[in-house]
């Protein structure tokens, strides 16, 4: 709006607040109002604007106006003013009349040149203002100064650091380090010398020293709320994200917006990239100096082949971090209401995969089928019949309770409970697609005890609906 003409129709508080936004943006403002309220009179002490002591009467008066704000406090007068402004070709905003607006005025947190705008699309301006109040207290007033400081040093930094990656790393260090601290404390010369030190260091190290890094991050079984704080922090630092189909799209969306996203697939039979290719890709990207986020479903070290990936990284001397995640057995059990251990039912719990290195169902069955133990079987759906048969062959009672949880912790979670004898048939009848986890053991019966909870209409965990439980 800088240098452009804006009109405010109305002389009250609402008009004053809007006029101030326009004046701060550098617009030429004309206020049409028979009288100026105290707020507008105060505003006149700070800014110059034109005052016309009546309402506009014909479109010609508003010819050339870019924006028109209407806030007379009188519905009929508001509509008349709006029609005139529209006829003159201006964009119009009418206070508290979303239906008459060409544009919305967001709540603004102003740390010039830093600006945060909050809009609820007209749904609840009050909610927007509440959020604004909260953010006002968490964004230091000096942030604007910090932004100016970055702007004024940019040319110097660009001259010393050639690549985009090097510059971004540098600024991350500055904004998170002593230079920013000094600036926020109002010590401009201290901030400048801290920045110069940092720049000297960064350009001396050169590009070669700027090695990339790999973050092997467990994304949990599906519900984004199950991410850890550390996972979220690493996701915000990534330059590239490698993810497969076990990771919910809602979670991939939480990675840094500018990060490149690479789908590396992996569903049985549809291997977008073989494991060796994924490991190679991780190495190649890290050697380009990138921060590579390898997002894995559940926990990276539980049936996630994370071990193989870090062996490769270690052999190539690439730095990496591993961030644990909620593994499917733990997440699914909680969201399905099945405690994995219980003093009266199970004193141990084993996590097994139905797909070993030597083919499917290569398991120590007698150790699995023990009483007093819960077994959580990953990747068991495709051979569910055989799986259940093996339990029985190795001494498990065919009536041992068992459940299958499909898409656990997600909005479409389904739980099918039965017994070792019946589970395969139940699963087939329901045409489950997976991912699914199978839980075998008497702890499955404890689910029924949660019935009172269901009938009370409550949910066991956030994100899980009663319907999902009942299914």
Q: Catalytic residues, which ones?
A: 244, 266
178: its two tokens: 């002593």
Q: Which is nearer to ligand SAH, 20 or 406 (CB)?
A: 406
Q: Which is nearer to ligand SAH, 78 or 299 (CB)?
A: 299
Which own/partner contact pairs does 23-26 have at CB distance under 8 Å and 24+ positions apart?
Answer: 23/47, 23/49, 24/110, 24/112, 25/1, 26/1, 26/2
Q: Which is nearer to ligand SAH, 353 or 422 (CB)?
A: 353
- C-alpha 32/C-alpha 30 separation (Å) is 6
Q: Which is nearer to ligand SAH, 78 or 244 (CB)?
A: 244
Of 322, 324, 325, 298, the closest CA to residue 309 belongs to 322
452: its two tokens: 């009172």
Position closest to ligand SAH via CB: 298
Of 423, 424, 449, the closest CA to residue 345 belongs to 449
Residues contacting residue 268 through CB under 8 Å, at least 6 positions apart: 382
Instruction: Give the 3-state secondary structure of residue 422.
Output: coil
Least spacing, CB of residue 246 vs ligand SAH, in Å: 5
Query: What is the b/e burial string over 30-57, where b = at least 16 CB atoms within 10 angstroms of the residue's CB?
Result: bbbbeebbebbeebeeeeebebeeebbe
Q: Which is nearer to ligand SAH, 106 or 463 (CB)?
A: 463
Question: C-alpha 42: how far from its chain's center?
Answer: 43
Question: C-alpha 390: how far from its chain's center?
Answer: 43
Cis peptide leading into residue 42 (ω within 30°)? no
Residues at the contact surface with ligand SAH, assessed by CB under 6 A: 221-222, 246, 296-299, 302-304, 327-328, 332, 378-379, 405, 407-410, 435-437
Least spacing, CB of residue 453 vs ligand SAH, in Å: 21
- Residues 8, 32: contact at Cβ < 8 Å? yes
Cis peptide leading into residue 3 (ω within 30°)? no
* Alpha-helix residue ranges (DSSP H) falling in 25-70: 38-46
Q: Which is nearer to ligand SAH, 302 or 346 (CB)?
A: 302
443: its two tokens: 């702890």
Least spacing, CB of residue 230 vs ligand SAH, in Å: 16
Least spacing, CB of residue 419 vs ligand SAH, in Å: 20
Least spacing, CB of residue 328 vs ligand SAH, in Å: 3
- Residues 129, 140: contact at Cβ < 8 Å? no
For 153, the enclosing helix (H) or strand (E) is helix 143-160
- C-alpha 292/C-alpha 116 separation (Å) is 29
Least spacing, CB of residue 420 vs ligand SAH, in Å: 18
Least spacing, CB of residue 407 vs ligand SAH, in Å: 5
Q: Which is nearer to ligand SAH, 12 or 297 (CB)?
A: 297
């Amino acid at each position: 709006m800088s240098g452009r003409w804006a009109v405010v129709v109305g002389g009250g508080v609402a008009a004053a607040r809007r006029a101030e936004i326009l004046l701060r943006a550098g617009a030429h403002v004309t206020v049409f109002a028979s009288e100026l309220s105290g707020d507008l009179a105060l505003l006149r002490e700070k800014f110059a604007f034109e005052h016309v002591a009546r309402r506009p009467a014909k479109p010609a008066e508003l010819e050339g106006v870019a924006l028109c704000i209407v806030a007379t406090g009188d519905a009929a007068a508001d509509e008349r003013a709006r029609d005139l402004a529209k006829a003159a070709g201006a964009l119009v905003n009418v206070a508290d009349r979303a239906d008459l607006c060409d544009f919305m005025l967001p709540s603004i947190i102003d740390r010039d040149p830093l600006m945060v705008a909050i809009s609820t699309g007209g749904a609840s301006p009050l909610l927007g203002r509440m959020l604004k109040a909260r953010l006002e207290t968490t964004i230091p007033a000096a942030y604007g100064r910090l932004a100016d400081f970055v702007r004024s040093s940019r040319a110097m930094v660009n001259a010393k650091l050639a690549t985009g990656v090097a510059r971004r790393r540098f600024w991350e260090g500055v904004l998170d380090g002593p230079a920013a601290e000094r600036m926020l404390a109002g010590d401009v010369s201290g901030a400048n010398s801290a920045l110069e030190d940092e720049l000297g260091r960064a350009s001396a190290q050169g590009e070669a020293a700027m090695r990339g890094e790999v973050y092997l991050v467990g994304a949990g079984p599906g519900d984004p709320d199950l991410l850890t704080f550390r996972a979220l922090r690493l996701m915000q630092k990534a330059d590239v994200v490698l993810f497969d189909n076990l990771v919910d799209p809602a979670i991939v969306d939480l990675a840094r917006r500018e990060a490149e996203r690479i789908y590396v697939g992996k569903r049985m039979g549809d291997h977008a990239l073989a494991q060796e290719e994924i490991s190679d890709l991780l190495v190649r990207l890290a050697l380009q100096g990138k921060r590579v986020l390898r997002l894995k479903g559940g926990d990276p070290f539980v049936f996630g082949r994370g071990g193989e990936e870090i062996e490769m990284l270690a052999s190539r001397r690439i730095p990496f971090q591993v961030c644990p995640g909620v593994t499917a057995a733990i997440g699914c059990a909680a969201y399905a209401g099945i405690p994995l251990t219980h003093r009266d039912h199970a004193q141990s719990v084993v996590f097994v995969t139905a797909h070993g290195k030597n083919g499917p169902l290569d398991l120590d069955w007698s150790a699995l089928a023990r009483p007093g133990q819960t077994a959580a079987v990953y990747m068991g759906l495709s051979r569910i019949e055989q799986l259940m048969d093996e339990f029985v062959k190795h001494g498990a009672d065919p009536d041992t309770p068992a459940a299958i949880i499909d898409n656990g912790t997600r909005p479409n979670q389904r739980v099918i409970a039965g017994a070792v004898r019946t589970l395969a048939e139940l699963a087939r009848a329901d045409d489950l697609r997976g991912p699914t986890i199978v839980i075998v053991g008497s702890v499955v019966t404890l689910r029924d005890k949660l019935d009172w909870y269901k009938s009370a209409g409550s949910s066991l965990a956030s994100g899980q609906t009663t319907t999902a439980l009942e299914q």
